[in-house]
Amino acid sequence: MNDQIFECRAAELDQDDPLAEFRGSFSIPAGQIYLDGNSLGAYQDAIHKRVQHTLKKEWGESLISSWNQAGWFDWPIQVGDKIAPLIGAGVGQVAVGDSTSVNLFKGLDALCQLQPGRRVILVQEKNFATDGYMAQALARVNPSLHVRYWRDEPLESVLDEQVACLLLSQVDYRTSERLDMSAVNRLAHSVGARVCWDLSHSTGAIPVDVLGTESDIAVGCTYKYLNGGPGAPAYIWVHPSLIEQIQPALPGWMGDARPFEFQVDYQPHPGIRRMVCGTPQILSLAALDAALDLWSEVDLAQIDAKRQSLMALFETALAEQLPSVFEPISPSDPARRGSHLSFSHPNAYPIVQALIDDGVVGDYRDPSYLRFGFAPLYLSHADVLESVSRLTRIMREERWRAPEFQVRKVVT
């Protein structure tokens, strides 16, 4: 295919794009192509107004009465109810607050408690670092537990009746490889183990059905594809059949059944609210709540179809423009990957820096990966083609060799 054919194809796909209207809600700097929505989702102007209202009216004017009047107290669960349909959960089953890391600890601990006598937490070795750290920390405070790593062997071979709980990412943050939640849950449950899912790279990107796949607990991030803003609070979902059996690892007063009775002994709230620890992050919740408003109008099947279309165009155009320059790392089957693509190249770091300098924002991941996220709400097929053409220019002109692109920044 030559350039013109690609351009016509992209224009056609954009013309028929049922999600095109959402792009206008986002503010992306002119000339920039943002392929990093899998790390920090883009900003919507509606968020400003909402946070401003919470700051000036709710906090500034109503002060402490906003806990009742504005309903701040209920926000962790109300915002959770907006996330629920995106992951196939029911109303009142999702609590929002704390970071993903903290919720992973809470979720893992909860499942291990349900399995007295079992000693193993099974963790993917290549999982996002924080997941492994949380499992190690739980084993440290609960010395009857230890961490076992799942590497590349078949899951069956590391799964036995010693395993209390598995901690797995549905989508691998580096390679984009996707696990079949239903099949993994079935396998784990067949030996009596439970699964804590990390849905950070799935939520808002690919179809998720925590109830339909008979999951136990799921945790996820809201500042990636959900666009909740930097450090937006994470969420935790617990299967309704398990919630009443769980004594939270961090039994904060805000998860107590009657927080304003200030009892000596904690008594958990009957529902998911017990997973709320301390005072909710109201300003961040206001931003997240506003970011989630748009999702009630979004057809998730269209999100899935568009991400596949954007990714396929990127892969084909890249293979055509720069054949054999980058080694594809992500699975080629759309059903076996998330919404990002990774490519290996020995000079990945400076190439990503040169690309960012040229207005195409992706990121770099060790050991040698360029990673590009495809957020269907604000990317067009024309953007995707343009990003490939800028990458092609950088490679042909070897612009990435400039000394300023070689220096490692703190955040890559």
Ligand X SMILES: *Cc1c(COP(=O)(O)O)cnc(C)c1O
Catalytic residue among 224, 274, 307, 399: 224
Residue among 50, 17, 86 nearest 377 (CA) = 17
Catalytic residue among 22, 105, 173, 223: 223
Among 44, 176, 185, 200, contact with ligand X (rule: CB under 6 A): 200
Compute the CA torsion angle 300, 305, 309, 312 (nearest 10 deg): 100
- Using CB under 6 A as the binding criterion, the count of chain residues that bind ligand X stands at 13
Q: Please report how close the Cβ of residue 89 comes to ligand X at its closest, in angstroms.
A: 18
Is 383 noted as a catalytic residue in this protein? no
- Kindly state the helix (H) or strand (E) to which residue 372 belongs, with its residue range: strand 369-373
Residue 100 binds ligand X, judged by CB under 6 A: yes
Residue 378 binds ligand X, judged by CB under 6 A: no
User: Six-digit token pair at 30?
Assistant: 């002119």
Contact partners, residue 227, CB within 8 Å, separation at least 6 = 26, 37, 41, 42, 43, 44, 204, 291, 377
Report the site for ligand X in 145-184 (rule: CB under 6 A).
Answer: 169, 173
Q: Please report how close the Cβ of residue 200 comes to ligand X at its closest, in angstroms.
A: 3
Residue 104, CB half-sphere, CA atoms under 13 Å: how many? 27
Residue 36 binds ligand X, judged by CB under 6 A: no
Q: Please report how close the Cβ of residue 338 comes to ligand X at its closest, in angstroms.
A: 10
Q: Please report how close the Cβ of residue 233 comes to ligand X at its closest, in angstroms.
A: 9
Query: Which one, 21 or 125, has the nearer CB to ligand X?
Result: 125
Is 289 noted as a catalytic residue in this protein? no
Show the CA angle centred on residue 130, arms to residues 158 and 251, nearest 5°: 100
Q: Please report how close the Cβ of residue 355 comes to ligand X at its closest, in angstroms.
A: 21
Is 224 noted as a catalytic residue in this protein? yes
Catalytic residue among 36, 131, 172, 198: 198
- d(CA 100, CA 284) in angstroms, rounded, equals 14
- d(CA 117, CA 34) in angstroms, rounded, equals 48
Preceding amide of 367 cis, omega within 30: yes
Residue 196 binds ligand X, judged by CB under 6 A: no
Is 274 noted as a catalytic residue in this protein? no
Query: Which one, 93 or 176, has the nearer CB to ligand X?
Result: 176
Residue among 209, 214, 212, 185 nearest 199 (CA) = 209
Q: Assign 120 to helix, strand or coil.
A: strand
Among 234, 238, 317, 329, contact with ligand X (rule: CB under 6 A): 234
Instruction: Give catalytic residue positions.
Output: 128, 198, 223-224, 371
- Which residues contact ligand X (rule: CB under 6 A)? 99-101, 128, 130-131, 169, 173, 198, 200-201, 221, 234
